[in-house]
Structure 1
Amino acid sequence: MSNANRRQFLRTVAGAAALSVSADVVTFGRMRRLRMTTAMPDPQAHDRLQPDWYRKKIRQVQEEMQKRKLDALVLLKATNVIYTTGYFHLSTERPLAALIPKAGDPALFIPELESDQVKLWWVKDYESYFDFPGPVNRVRWIFERVAKRGLDHGRIGIEEATAGRLKQIKLGAPHATLVHAGDLIEHQRWVKDEDELRLMRRAMYFADFTVQSGRDYVQHNGNATEDHILKATADAVADKMSAELNDVVGVGIEPPFGGLVPFGKRSSFPHAVPSKDRLKKGDALILSFGAQVGGYNVECERSFCVGKPDDYAKRLYDAMLAAHDTGAESMKEGAIAQDVDKKSLDQIRKAGFEKFLKHRTGHGIGLEGHESPWIAEGDKTVL
């Protein structure tokens, strides 16, 4: 992907939350045409990354391992296992790990209940244990098997671990040199390639549709409660995804019905738990939904007013939009994450609403809904 295209995607994703509804919206100082994605991007393409993508990713990881003189890399974080091998699974208390050697294909260490599903994927080397907790700590069990593969005296990269988990790792591979290397995968996940971006564009199509469905439902059911709106939108997007997707895979567990739709006083709650309150004229309404295609997340959020907004609501909206646009315009290659955050939030401060600030400007997104880098004070990542 060219640098120009990557910059354009950054700007598109940064602006998508406020730019994709099909409606003329007066922003109390200027008018903007907000557009929704109306057609599935690349309708004939796969809905998940294919085995060859993961084989290439393993080689990229191994190249970085060579620079760090690692004999192996062991991944216990479910999202990193999925990112490197494509093995989608339901993460539970049962440890599951991927072993990436310095050369060759990876291996998986799994609970026995995964032993049928794992055979459907491209990674053929796996070992399984019966269940958790078992007679031996399962993290220790994994590293005992890693050590037996000729790595008992090797340099093994590991992710950041709690003291308890690190103790079990050392018991499993007591003679190995353990090297903290979780950033190796984290930094690769920062930069999405064209195949990943394609999945995210497809996901955005469904997220846009969900917000549109929510708005349509409110227009025809003005006295609705939050759970009514959530159920209606969940039903609509579930039917659409079932009809239009060939592969349905995901990561993690979403909130009830997969969205946030607070209104009235609760519209100021960034992560509002659904209520039974009834929508009424004059309420501010937030429609916030995510979608996943091939495990890759996107978010789509809109701010509405039910009926005619008063002057105070207009001031709030103008400040929000100024912060959004400034953040989007600042998302340029080479920018510093915390600088983008400051420029964006300064618009809200300048409008006189600093006392209402509750959170940073933004965050990375991909296999996780929230992932680094953080568009926030203290994050000096170069974008």
Structure 2
Amino acid sequence: MSKEELDKKSMAALLGIASAWYEQMKSGEIPSISLPSRTKYNIEFDDASEVWKYGDKESMRTAASAKSATHLLKMAYVIGFIKQQLRENRSSTLREMYYISEGWKRAKFGAQDESNFLIEDLEILSDVPREGFHLHPEENGASIYGPMRIREETRRGMKTLHCQDDVGQAGYTIPNNVENIEFVDHDAKFVIAIETGGMYDRLIENGFDEEYNAILVHLKGQPARSTRRMLNKISSNWDLPVLVFTDGDPWSYRIFGSVAYGAIKSAHMSELLVTPKAQFIGLQPSDIRDYNLPSDKLSDKDVEALKAELTDPRFATDYWRKQINLQLSLGLKSEQQAFAARGLDFVTKKYLPARLTDMGILKS
């Protein structure tokens, strides 16, 4: 879909929401909206698309209560703000929109989390991603490095670049909106998405990308939507294996989950943001034991998070149950950089090749 087509779809969808309220009031009804319940108890696996989506449980927000009426008022202001952006072909960050609401009197937001949540509501109601509203987060800065060539639309026209030969050591910076990127060609065998900058740099410095024809993606912790969209597009365009390399703790497992299963709050965008074929190649609790890695004790919050993952349907596999229960019994967690205790080349010469071979990505 071109930018012009997306702008038209966004405008029509948003005005449709406002028109529905008008028709409700015109017929004597109280304005309302219906939205899916955004909890792990209302996500279901969709066999056709192989992604997790919202189930049938919904919640109604109606202007009959002061709290919900205020929410609809804020939504109306946001729709007006986005409408103006689309007409003027301008964009803003989510943070800027939050501050702009300072002038909306009773419709102002109390915190950015509230305004972000409302944008997610509009995505669900309109079936348009926030990029279609010309809204984006603060600077992402996630990067990609490897044997692939892309073509990108810039202010000076289309530009083609190779993500090894034409970029610096930090790689190509993934933009907030990746829809204008065309995937030209590649010489890669697989993709590794890496949680930490230190490990991303280690793999580049050790020449892992060249030796194994690997595309390396720095997730920068919990990956931004643009990063997840980039992985989704690489996977769907080139059908390359995507591996997620993280620390060995419950929060890092959720990083993998956001790539492979999607986040609960963005389940409505799963087909665009999720890479269902992604596999976990991160530090496992069994690695802490088998390699005697430097580690830290699990905190109470870590334990609580691990137990929550055991009840999460997205982690309901034998592999995850076994590893999480092992971690709870060990009472330990560890970081990617802990492999350095076995030498700076251990992770690229020993650990990753062994895991990739076990997973069938590399031939033994």
The TM-score with structure 1 as length reference comes to: 0.30
Structure of higher RCO (CA pairs closer than 8 Å, 6+ residues apart): 1
Query: More helix per residue: 1 or 2?
Result: 2
